[in-house]
């Protein structure tokens, strides 16, 4: 795995994709060669480089916070969430006025299902900077995980208000509407997701499953077909198309799609059941 300092998100981090570089990456200078700051190298190389810098006795607080934050992301990527939190504790000790440190630590607490601490950190991040939409997005995700759908919607509404052209707010809100069985509102949000990025298969897959729940099989089939056109062999779309074929025709009509989906992603049927599909 390689870290790219110019990329805003640590891809496939262990914190549900919520550990953001925020302003850290933009501070890196072209002449830097330290993997801790360039983001280049294996996870071990990044961890070692950051540890060396932290132990160097530097008095540059901004650089120290960056080093602890990057170490936190690397540790998250290998699933060591307690160590991730410890790094971010250090970042907060260095300067308690940096909202991103609380944001990242909140993501770690969310991963541990310590939702009260996650909310407390996000409250502080938002107090320090109430204009960054992703703080509200994450707080909405935490409330969703707690089962407080009403409060989650409030947070996602704020994310959408701050970032109306970002698909993430509509996608997360649409998912909550699905869980509340408010399917028309959910479809409307996924319509917006697709409008923002018509080349992303996931929007069609998500909307397709809402149409399945609404028993609107023709529209569901069209969405799954489009998703598979954009992303061949998407396991969820294959299951969706298989389910639609079986419901529209003979029970065995979808078997080929269902078998291929299970081969690609063995646990996919359990994931689909979580959507409320029987």
Say if residue 247's pLDDT is above 50. yes
Per-residue pLDDT reduced to its tens digit, 14-49: 343 344 433 344 344 433 688 888 877 888 999 999
Per-residue pLDDT reduced to its tens digit, 177-213: 999 999 999 999 999 999 999 999 999 999 999 999 9
Residue 252, judged by CB atoms within 10 A of its CB (0-12, 13-18, 19+), counts as exposed
- CA pair distance 186, 172, nearest whole angstrom: 10
Average per-residue pLDDT in the chain? 89
Kindly provide the b/e burial profile for residues 227-241, where b requires at least 16 CB atoms within 10 angstroms of the residue's own CB.
Answer: bbebbeebbbbbbbb
Cite the beta strand spans of 134-204 per DSSP E.
none
pLDDT average, residue stretch 152-171: 97
pLDDT average, residue stretch 246-265: 96
User: Could you identify the residue written with the tokens 């969703």?
Assistant: 144
In this predicted structure, what is the pLDDT of residue 17? 38
Per-residue pLDDT reduced to its tens digit, 114-137: 999 999 999 999 999 999 999 999
- CA pair distance 102, 124, nearest whole angstrom: 7
Say if residue 105's pLDDT is above 90. yes
Residue 131, judged by CB atoms within 10 A of its CB (0-12, 13-18, 19+), counts as exposed
Residue ranges of domains in the chain, CATH in brackets: 1-112 (1.25.40), 199-278 (1.25.40.10)
Least Cα distance to 90 among 125, 57, 64, 120 occurs for 64
- Taking each helix axis from N to C end, the angle separating 201-213 and 167-179, rounded to the nearest 10 degrees, works out to 20
Residue 82, judged by CB atoms within 10 A of its CB (0-12, 13-18, 19+), counts as exposed
- CA pair distance 278, 241, nearest whole angstrom: 14
Contacts of 253 (CB under 8 A, 6+ apart): 245, 246
- CA pair distance 278, 271, nearest whole angstrom: 12
Say if residue 103's pLDDT is above 50. yes
139, 122 contact by CB (below 8 A): yes
């Amino acid at each position: 795995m390689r870290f790219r300092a110019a990329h805003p998100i640590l891809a496939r981090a262990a914190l549900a994709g919520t550990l953001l570089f925020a302003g850290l990456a933009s501070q890196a200078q072209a002449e830097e060669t330290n993997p801790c700051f360039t983001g280049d190298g294996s996870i071990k190389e990044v961890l070692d480089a950051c540890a060396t810098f932290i132990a160097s006795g530097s008095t540059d607080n901004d650089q120290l916070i960056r080093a602890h934050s990057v170490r936190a992301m690397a540790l998250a990527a290998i699933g060591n969430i307690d160590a991730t939190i410890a790094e971010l504790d250090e970042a907060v000790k260095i300067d308690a006025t940096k909202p991103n440190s609380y944001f990242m630590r909140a993501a770690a607490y969310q991963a541990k299902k310590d939702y009260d601490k996650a909310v407390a950190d996000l409250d502080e991040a938002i107090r320090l900077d109430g204009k960054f939409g992703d703080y509200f997005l994450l707080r909405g995700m935490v409330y969703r995980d707690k089962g407080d759908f009403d409060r989650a919607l409030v947070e996602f509404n704020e994310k959408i208000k701050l970032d109306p052209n970002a698909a993430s707010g509509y996608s997360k809100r649409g998912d909550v509407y699905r869980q509340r069985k408010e399917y028309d509102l959910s479809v409307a949000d996924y319509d917006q997701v697709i409008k923002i990025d018509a080349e992303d298969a996931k929007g069609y897959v998500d909307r397709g499953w809402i149409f399945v729940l609404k028993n609107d099989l023709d529209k569901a089939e069209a969405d799954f077909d489009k998703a598979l056109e954009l992303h061949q062999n998407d396991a969820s779309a294959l299951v969706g198309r298989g389910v639609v074929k079986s419901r529209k025709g003979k029970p065995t009509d979808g078997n080929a799609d269902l078998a291929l989906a299970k081969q690609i992603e063995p646990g996919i049927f359990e994931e689909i059941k979580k959507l409320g599909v029987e």
